[in-house]
């Protein structure tokens, strides 16, 4: 809990949360101008657009996930704790989720209204994002871990993490489309998103820990 809380405080003090939420609303505000005045087209594209904007908002913060800790020796101290390195990294990733992803998800209802999404369908859209967002954080952590030894490696981190995001975005957009269409066909997609998140929560800390050990050694 201490590691999780420390990462949340650092994210707030560093302005990462405000930056991510601001990017979400800037993108959502500008998208209608790019797509034109056709409300039906905007409503049809909105679920996929929200997932893409959520993913990009997360990608912009990945270079801050482990880079500073790698440079100032914090990761070395984490390895000396009487706690598995993987557990410490999982706590840090949970802090990243609470500090950045949770505010983004809570901002989705207002963003959805700006994109002409039916307010009655927004809870289902939120359910899909809650199920899939942990997978985005964990997969992004793998990209951040692989690029941690590269100074100013923000672009490299994004390039590594983007392919990992594709399955989550595909099923997330499909779940959101189903939620806005009828709502009845949503549950299989929610199950897949939840399974992806559960698998990455179990496996990603080990992959990240291995990548960070290689970078440190």
What are the pLDDT digits (tens) for 158-176?
888 888 999 999 999 888 8
pLDDT at 39 over 80: no
**Average pLDDT value for the chain:** 83
The residue ranges of every structural domain in the chain are 2-216
What is the share, in percent, of the chain residues with pLDDT greater than 90?
A: 16
Query: pLDDT per residue over 178-189, tens digit each?
Result: 877 765 677 888
Q: Tell me which long-range contacts 181-190 makes (C-beta under 8 A, separation of at least 24).
A: 183/121, 183/124, 186/124, 186/127, 186/128, 189/128, 190/127, 190/128, 190/131
Distance CA 128, CA 46 (A): 14
Q: Render pLDDT for 11-25 as a digit per residue (tens, 0 to 9).
A: 777 777 788 888 888
> For residue 1, what pLDDT is reported?
55
d(CA 140, CA 123): 25
Whole-structure pTM value: 0.88
Q: CB of 12 within 8 A of CB of 95?
A: no
């Amino acid at each position: 809990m201490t590691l999780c809380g420390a990462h949340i405080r650092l994210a707030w003090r560093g302005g990462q949360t405000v930056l991510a939420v601001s990017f979400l609303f800037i993108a959502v505000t500008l998208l209608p101008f790019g797509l034109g005045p056709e409300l039906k087209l905007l409503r049809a594209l909105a679920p996929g657009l929200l997932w893409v904007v959520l993913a990009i908002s997360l990608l912009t913060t990945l270079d801050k996930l482990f880079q500073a800790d790698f440079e100032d020796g914090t990761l070395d101290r984490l390895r000396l704790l009487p706690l598995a390195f993987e557990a410490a990294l999982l706590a840090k990733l949970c802090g990243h989720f609470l500090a950045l992803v949770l505010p983004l998800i809570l901002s989705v209802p207002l963003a959805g209204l700006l994109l002409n999404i039916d307010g009655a369908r927004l809870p289902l859209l939120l359910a899909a994002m809650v199920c899939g967002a942990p997978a985005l954080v964990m997969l992004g952590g793998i990209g951040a871990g692989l690029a941690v030894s590269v100074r100013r490696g923000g672009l490299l981190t994004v390039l590594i993490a983007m392919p990992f995001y594709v399955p989550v975005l595909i099923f997330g957009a499909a779940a959101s489309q189903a939620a806005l269409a009828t709502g009845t066909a949503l549950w299989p997609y929610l199950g897949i998103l939840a399974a992806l998140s559960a698998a990455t929560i179990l496996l990603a800390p080990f992959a990240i820990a291995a990548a960070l050990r290689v970078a440190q050694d």
